[in-house]
Amino acid sequence: MKGWTRYGWVVLIAVIFQNCTDSQASNKQKLSDMNSEKKDNNPVYSRSDSSQVNLSDDQWKKILPNDVYNIARQKGTERPWTSKYEGSHEIGTYYCAVCGNPLFRSDTKFESGCGWPSFYEPISKTSIIYAQDNSYGMERNEVICGRCKSHLGHVFNDGPPPTGLRYCINGVVLDFEKAKDAEKRYDAENQKHS
Residue 119 parent element (H or E): strand 118-119
Rounded Cα distance, 52 and 34, in Å: 21
- In three-state secondary structure terms, 9 is helix
Rounded Cα distance, 174 and 91, in Å: 15
Separation in Å, CA 14 to CA 19, 21, 50, 82, 163: 9, 10, 48, 25, 50
Catalytic residue, chosen from 96, 99, 145, 168, is: 168
Q: Note whether 171 and 104 are within 8 A (CB).
A: no
Q: Which residues pair with 92 in a beta bridge?
A: 178
Q: Is 99 a catalytic residue?
A: no
DSSP 131-145: EEE-GGG--EEEEEE
- Residues marked as catalytic: 168
